[in-house]
Amino acid sequence: MVLSLSHRPRLLRGARLTSPVVAPVLRTPRLVLRPHRMSDAEAWLQIERDSSIRANLHWPERDRRQMITHLRDRTRKTVLWRADDFLALAVELDGEVIGDVSMHLRTVAPESRSAEVGWLQLSRYRGHGYATEAAEALLTFAFQTLGTRWVTALVDADNERSMALAERLGFARVAQTGCTVTFLTTGAPTIGAPTTDAPPISAGETVESRIDSPVIADTM
């Protein structure tokens, strides 16, 4: 019997961290970054319907059911353990979800551990430094808790706001492949470290159950 890659038993799926890193709750001066919840649905629908988010992330047009499925998928992206595991956090301002930051664990070996980050924010909340503040917290988590040696961000060459954000965060532009610019940083920004509060895996829930969720192609 031939097993396809996506059905390889988890134990055969390559290197992993010594122990899983569970989605934290990060608090910054103005924001709370925490795992997505199904009760975020109304805010999530606004994010999905924000044409500048869809365009820049190359998300397809989804109907309401697909948007909810996408949110459900994100609620399950809460553990980093193996290369290519994905973690997404809702960005909350005064109790309202205004955006999202995310991270793919790319390589796990301690001496070359790396991750790729992503960010998005509802159009009406732009221009106040919220995305900068959220991404700073995520980067601090990456370098201080996850132990990454470097972090990348891949940005379309015409996405000026996202490139400006990467530069504000201290990323250097290191390559361009077609229309995609690669940014890289080797350290967390020095501006205010967030407080962290990683929720433990709850009783009856296994790490495997958090990771083994349906995967959709455009998780960024």
Tell which one of 121, 140, 152, 185 touches ligand COA (CB under 6 A): 121
- Cα–Cα distance for residue pair 105/179, rounded to 1 Å: 23
User: End-to-end CA distance of the chain, in Å?
Assistant: 33
Supply the DSSP symbol for 4.
P
Crossing angle for the helix pair 160-168 and 130-141, to the nearest 10 degrees: 50
Q: Which of 145, 59, 150, 157 has the alpha carbon at shortest distance from 100?
A: 59
Q: Which residue is nearest to ligand COA (CB)?
A: 129
User: What x-and-dash track marks residues 160-189 binding ligand COA by CB under 6 A?
Assistant: -xx-xx------------------------
Tell which one of 120, 139, 181, 188 touches ligand COA (CB under 6 A): 120
Tell which one of 127, 187, 192, 199 touches ligand COA (CB under 6 A): 127
- Cα–Cα distance for residue pair 212/136, rounded to 1 Å: 28
- Cα–Cα distance for residue pair 161/60, rounded to 1 Å: 21
For the CB of residue 153, give the shortest distance to ligand COA in the complex, in Å. Answer: 6
Tell which one of 23, 43, 57, 91 touches ligand COA (CB under 6 A): 57
Tell which one of 24, 159, 185, 211 touches ligand COA (CB under 6 A): 159
For the CB of residue 100, give the shortest distance to ligand COA in the complex, in Å. Answer: 9
In the complex with ligand COA, the residue whose CB is nearer, 140 or 162, is 162
Q: Which of 204, 179, 87, 62 has the alpha carbon at shortest distance from 141?
A: 87
Contact residues toward ligand COA (CB under 6 A) are 52-53, 56-57, 118-121, 126-132, 155, 159, 161-162, 164-165
